[in-house]
Chains A and B, each alone.
Chain A
Amino acid sequence: MNFAAPLLLSLKLSSVTTLLLLVLGVPFAYWLVFTRFRWKFLVESVVALPLVLPPTVLGFYLLMIIGGNSFIGQWYESIFNKPLAFSFQGLVLGSFLYSLPFAVQPIQTAFSSVDKKLLEASWSLGRSNVYTFFRVILPLSRHGIITGCVLSFAHTLGEFGVILMIGGNIPGVTRVASVAIYDEVQSLNYGSANMYAAILLSFSFIILAAVYFINRRFVRTL
């Protein structure tokens, strides 16, 4: 068996998920901060659910929603000619939802901590909301965005329950490093389980240390 394949798959899944979260999470966080939608608290609760929910619960419902017998699952299969569950794309969807609060919450906090006066200054200087976003809000929120990205990446890397539920354990397709550890232990291969575990541990530690280091530097320079 290829030892590196699950690790590479984990990295690929984390990268794709993080990119997707960045592209969709930034406008979503902006909406959460500035909307006057009265049911916003419900949306926020749904986003935060993965923080408290057992991954198996999320995985189970996702499987119900995207599985071969579901409407979405059948619709996907009719268009792409392959099932969504037990595929890499399915894993991306699951990871996206599972890591959503890790990306959205730091970005949301950063957006809302930008001094309202600066936005008012920008508007009163004749600048649009879009210009204000790119020139004022985004640069002043960069630490939140970096934190969101790194946490999503690290969180996806360590994901296990959701993946096992909606992706199973298909080598080269859905068998990521965290699942591989479980698999190796089941086969009593403690040596290679230890290798995967040590690599994930070091990687997560390095990522978190980088986040704290970057945040400290940004606090100093602002």
Chain B
Amino acid sequence: MAFDIPRGKITALFGPSGAGKSSVLRLISGLEMAEDGFISNGNETWFDKAKGINLHPQQRSVGFVFQDYALFPHMTVERNVAYGIKEKWRIKEIKDLIDIAGLSGYERHYPAQLSGGQKQRVSLIRAIARKPDILLLDEPFSALDWQTRIQLQEDVKNIIKQFNVTTMYVTHDVSEVYKLANNVIVMESGKEVKRGTPEEVFLGKRLSTRVQVTGKVVGIEHDSIMASVTILHADQFFKTLIDTEELKSLNLRIGDDVVVGVKSSDVILFKI
């Protein structure tokens, strides 16, 4: 596969697990070596098999955010963030970074004293602190519960925007791509299968005015003309009425898996 990452933009690498998304990040950062090909950052070559060039991770201007944070457990938040800063005079910027990440007051805390979302924020500003040319995020939200995830996605988007850093991140969550990315590259078994803006890639012809959900039948109540069917979808129960004749022809029983289609003309939306 071959691709360019546009400067100052957020590019998502999307695909099922095992598609090789994380490997792409590891190759870019130099944590793993490619068998062939080349990687360059502007005019600087980071890897070129043909010319025998392979810069160490230390020599590549990257910031890497790991799925499980990889914070140094024996260092405080402050020291973690300062770890990649080599210029002494820049040390005072750490406080600003910690403020931006909403972690003021936690400077002297150790990673074990932080929540998952806080840890990931420390990990993000630690990576940004060294002013990398490219920020790489490896499924940064997957270890978090959904509420934290939604909040953190927002925060990460703002932080990345503020620093205007070129970003590439790995995810298998479509909604995350929509929320964060300008561009998306879809990968399957080590190969690129599609690329474009999230709209181009995901919507296409699949845009529909119908909503479909799958569920399990957990109750059926018969009446003279109509029957009421109780369906469980994820952790939500809902009831729907269908014609008794239709029920007969479907031969529906408790425990069956069903698809429920709803026309999206009269839908109520809630913000969570």
Contacts and interface: CB of A to CB of B under 8 A. Distances in A.
A79 interface: no
A127 B112 CA distance: 23
Contacts of B130: 125-126
Contact of A120 (B70, B74, B83, B126): B70
Looking at chain A's contact residues, is the secondary structure mostly helix, strand, loop, or mixed? helix
A124 B83 contact: no
Given A120-B31, A120-B57, A125 B83 contact: yes
B58 interface: yes
Interface in A87-140: 115, 117-118, 120-128, 135-136, 139-140
A121 B70 contact: yes
A120 B74 CA distance: 16
Nearest to A122: B83
A222 B74 CA distance: 7
A120 B127 CA distance: 12
A36 B13 CA distance: 32
Contacts of B20: none
Contact of A123 (B57, B61, B68, B127): B57
Contacts of A136: 72
B73 A120 contact: no
Interface string B101-136: 000000000001000000000000011001000000
Given A125-B126, A126-B130, A222 B57 contact: no
Given A123-B56, A124-B127, 14 more contacts: A117-B66, A117-B70, A120-B57, A120-B64, A120-B66, A120-B70, A121-B70, A124-B64, A125-B63, A125-B126, A125-B127, A127-B58, A222-B73, A222-B112
25 contacts: A115-B70, A117-B70, A118-B72, A120-B57, A121-B64, A123-B56, A123-B57, A124-B30, A124-B31, A124-B57, A124-B64, A125-B63, A125-B84, A125-B127, A125-B130, A126-B58, A126-B61, A126-B84, A126-B86, A127-B58, A127-B84, A128-B58, A135-B72, A139-B74, A140-B74
Interface of A: 115, 117-118, 120-128, 135-136, 139-140, 222
